[in-house]
Amino acid sequence: MSVGIRHDDLRRRNRAMVISAVRRAGQPSRTEIAATTGLSHSTISAISSDLIAEGYLKQVKGSEQPSLKRGRPQVALSLNPAAATIVVAVLSLNFLSAAIVDYAGHVVVEQQRKPSTAALSKSDLVAELVAIIRQLLAGQGTTARPLRIVLAIQGTTDAEARTMRWSPITPHSDIAFADALERQFAIPATIENDCNMMAVALRWRDPARYRDDFVAILLSHGIGMGLVLNGELFTGTRSSGGEFGHMTHMPGGALCRCGRRGCVEAYAGNYAIWRNAQCKPEDSVPEDGIEEADIQALAVRARAGEGAEREAYRKAGAALGFGLGSLFALIDPAPVAFVGAGAAAFDILEPEIRAAILQTASGRHADAISFDIVPDELPLMRQGCAMRALTYVDQEIFAVGTTAPAPAGRVA
């Protein structure tokens, strides 16, 4: 159960509140922070001068804009990029990316590799990840050791964000990535579902559109989802959860990559659209390694007119629509962002998606459902990881209390 508030928690929490306000607003003045947090000016003044002295915040000097208003000009505060760095990595099918991100959230360096994830052993997969991070850190010199690693992975993780339970990118399961990374680099590491990170990023990117409740769906070889409810990332009770692609669309239906039948993904994943377009039986084994170009060509033919391709996209749209309908029966209608290369074919999918939703209980409020397209998933995933890692770091800072450890860019 929830616990009482100790007196010394107060400062900690309010320090965190200030940092979070700066992170959200970018370059707010003390007055703005006071307004958004509801704390008094005196309190904000005290806390921010502490945080500046400790090197987490900076005063932005060079605002050489002729201030339009009278009176003492506001002094903008910003995060001190040098206060910390973190490492983020994104691992998906045959693709690995890692980057160093500063405390202000900007990517400092990035590297990519293309390992054959499906062919690697458990330990080689981990080794590949360790290698790219090592390479990244070596290029940086030893001055600024990062404070944390967050890895986004295509697949399911445990609820503690430490172990990959299952993933379509490798035949192996239960890989303890977080433990391995912590052993190698001696800093805290966590592992997150890639689609969840997409949702986190969308919320930071466009808070006007993606605020309290929305859905991010990845249309790719498989189907993934990140869900934000009440302003918080929704996760399962025992795993990263939100396996929208594996809700049952058609009991006993098409064979899914997960081995079950009738999942949404078994109709709407690239491999499923491909399978249907080829007029292969629904229970034929999902093909791996379908080229993106082939899918594009499929979409072109589907747009051209009737035929197996068009029909394949119809089935995909219906599966997505009925899936969303069932989801909305539980959580109520919400804006949807379709992310990934597959979203480029959204124009072909949309009519069928809308038609399906109209046949479900959420059809009543179909007007409340808006669709949005984001073709590039990688930057989203990276940003989501970065914000997640920085949120952890921020929490550590406010856990500090009176005895603050010197951050890298300490001023006084």
Residues that bind DNA (CB under 7 A): 4-8, 10-11, 14, 29-31, 38-43, 45-49, 66-67, 69-75, 402
| Structure-block tokens of residue 213 | 């409740």
Cβ neighbours around 317 below 10 Å, total: 23
Q: Which does 69 bind (CB under 5 to 8 A by kind): a copy of itself, DNA, none?
A: DNA
Site for a copy of itself in 201-220 (CB under 8 A): 212-213
Between residues 142 and 237, which has the closer beta carbon with respect to a copy of itself? Answer: 237
Kindly tell me which of 27 and 326 has the beta carbon lying closer to a copy of itself: 326
Residue that the structure tokens 């039986």 belong to: 281
152 phi, psi to nearest 5 deg: -100, 135
By C-beta, is 124 or 350 nearer to a copy of itself? 350
Choose, by CB under 8 A, the member of 27, 45, 111, 326 that binds a copy of itself: 326
Spatial distance between the Cα atoms of 90 and 191, rounded to a whole number of angstroms:
10
Whole-number Å distance between alpha carbons of 208 and 355: 28
The helix or strand, by DSSP H or E, that contains position 319, with its residue range, turns out to be helix 308-331
Amino acid at the residue 334: A
Residue in 129, 178, 181, 263 binding a copy of itself, rule: CB under 8 A: 263
Q: Which one of 54-62, 81-89, 130-138, 325-333 is the stretch in contact with a copy of itself (CB under 8 A)?
A: 325-333
Residues 6+ apart with CB under 8 A from 250: 261, 262, 267, 319
| Minimum CB distance to a copy of itself smaller for 134 or for 364 | 364
Q: 250: part of which helix (H) or strand (E)?
A: none
Q: CB-wise, 14 or 94, nearer to DNA?
A: 14
The residues, ordered by sequence, that sit 6+ positions from 40 with a Cβ below 8 Å of its Cβ are: 34
Q: Does 391 bind a copy of itself (CB under 8 A)?
A: no
The helix/strand/coil state of 6 is coil
User: Residue 74's binding partner, choosing from DNA, a copy of itself, none, with beta-carbon cut-off 5 to 8 A by kind?
Assistant: DNA
Contact assessment for residue 191 and residue 151, using Cβ atoms and an 8 Å cutoff: yes
Residues 52, 74: Cα–Cα separation, whole Å: 16
> Taking CB under 8 A as the rule, which mask of x and - marks residues 126-145 in contact with a copy of itself?
--------------------
CB of 55 to DNA, least distance (A): 16
Interacting positions 364-383 with a copy of itself (CB under 8 A): 365, 368
- Give yes or no for residue 261 binding a copy of itself (CB under 8 A): yes
- Considering only residues 161, 219, 255, 334, which one is a binding residue for a copy of itself as defined by CB under 8 A? 334
C-alpha–C-alpha distance, residues 317 and 312, integer Å:
9
Beta strands in 67-122, from DSSP E residues, in sequence order: 76-79, 85-92, 95-102, 107-113
Supply the minimum distance, in Å, between the C-beta of residue 24 and a copy of itself: 7
Q: Decide the pairing of beta strands 85-92 and 149-153.
A: parallel
- Give residues 264-283 in contact with a copy of itself (rule: CB under 8 A): none
The reply to whether 14 sits near a copy of itself by the rule CB under 8 A is yes
User: Smallest gap, in angstroms, from Cβ of residue 15 to DNA?
Assistant: 8
Q: Where are the alpha helices (DSSP H) in 155-269?
A: 177-185, 194-205, 265-268
Query: What mask of x and - would describe binding to a copy of itself in positions 23 to 42, judged by CB under 8 A?
Result: -x-----------xxxx---
Tell me which of 58, 203, 221, 246 binds a copy of itself, using CB under 8 A.
246
Enter the tokens of residue 239.
């795993």
Sole binder of a copy of itself in the list 145, 209, 238, 280 (CB under 8 A): 238
Please report how close the Cβ of residue 19 comes to DNA at its closest, in angstroms.
13
The answer to whether residues 152 and 190 touch, using CB atoms and an 8 Å cutoff, is no
- Do 61 and 32 meet the contact criterion of CB atoms below 8 Å apart? no
- Structural contact between residues 386 and 79, judged by C-beta atoms closer than 8 angstroms: no
**289 lines the binding site for a copy of itself (CB under 8 A):** no
List interacting residues with a copy of itself (CB under 8 A).
1-7, 10, 13-14, 17, 20-21, 24, 36-39, 43, 159, 212-213, 227, 229-230, 236-239, 241-244, 246-252, 258, 260-263, 318, 322, 325-327, 329-334, 356, 359-361, 363, 365, 368
